[in-house]
A and B are shown apart, each in its own frame.
Chain A
Amino acid sequence: AQSVSQHNHHVILSEAASLELGCNYSYGGTVNLFWYVQYPGQHLQLLLKYFSGDPLVKGIKGFEAEFIKSKFSFNLRKPSVQWSDTAEYFCAVNGGPGRRALTFGSGTRLQVQP
């Protein structure tokens, strides 16, 4: 079965610091990869996605992620975080035998201090 690991459960940064959140998945075949964000009290919304092509994908609000197939990774990055980036971030993967629905990681809570 597909599994998704997010190594950082809680990250605290100061404004303007750089961010990198790790995500690894287990299925070695073709996958579609996603990062979702959940701001406090709001719904889960798509931050960025990778289906094919350039492994470096750019999303909304200055976020980007890099797909490294050999490492089964899809890490999320932002060069300079803002207080408004405080949220929970979820990596998700679509793919794997018999599974059409997304498999999510446990999430990383990002707290940005002003």
Chain B
Amino acid sequence: ETGVTQTPRHLVMGMTNKKSLKCEQHLGHNAMYWYKQSAKKPLELMFVYNFKEQTENNSVPSRFSPECPNSSHLFLHLHTLQPEDSALYLCASSQEGRQGGTGELFFGEGSRLTVL
């Protein structure tokens, strides 16, 4: 039990589908993140939400659309994805101050996405 719950754990979708990944954190943190983990590549930061405001968008294609309705929930909406988007998508949370924080992240178990 990590305190960060991601659903679904596995998702297979076609290139024309629309789906969403969900993340919920039970740690009382105020910042949430999406990372992409592909084989043999560093974890790629996608989005950061701090106090429900998006503070980083790491040049992510618009076919990925994040949503953060409150500090406990984070979504990643997916549409018209490409096969190269197949990866493990990791959600994380942290406690940040207004001037920043330590950076320590708490991760969920990830959502394994396969795009056909």
With contact pairs A100-B48, A100-B55 given, residues A34 and B43 touching in the complex (Cβ less than 8 Å): no
Q: Which residues of B contact A102 (CB under 8 A)?
A: 45, 103, 105
Q: Which residues of A contact B62 (CB under 8 A)?
A: none
- How many of A's residues come within 8 Å of B, CB to CB? 25
| Number of residue pairs spanning A and B whose beta carbons lie under 8 angstroms apart | 61
Measured between alpha carbons, how far is A56 from B45 in the docked complex, in Å? 28
The residue of chain B having its C-beta at the shortest distance from the C-beta of A107 within the complex is: B42
- Give 1 or 0 for each of A7-50: 1 = CB within 8 Å of chain B CB: 00100000000000000000000001010100000111110010
Q: Does B72 contact A (CB under 8 A)?
A: no
Q: Which residues of B contact A99 (CB under 8 A)?
A: 56
- Give 1 or 0 for each of A86-106: 1 = CB within 8 Å of chain B CB: 000010101100011111111
Measured between alpha carbons, how far is A49 from B55 in the docked complex, in Å? 24
Q: Which residues of A contact B (CB under 8 A)?
A: 4, 9, 32, 34, 36, 42-46, 49, 51, 90, 92, 94-95, 99-107
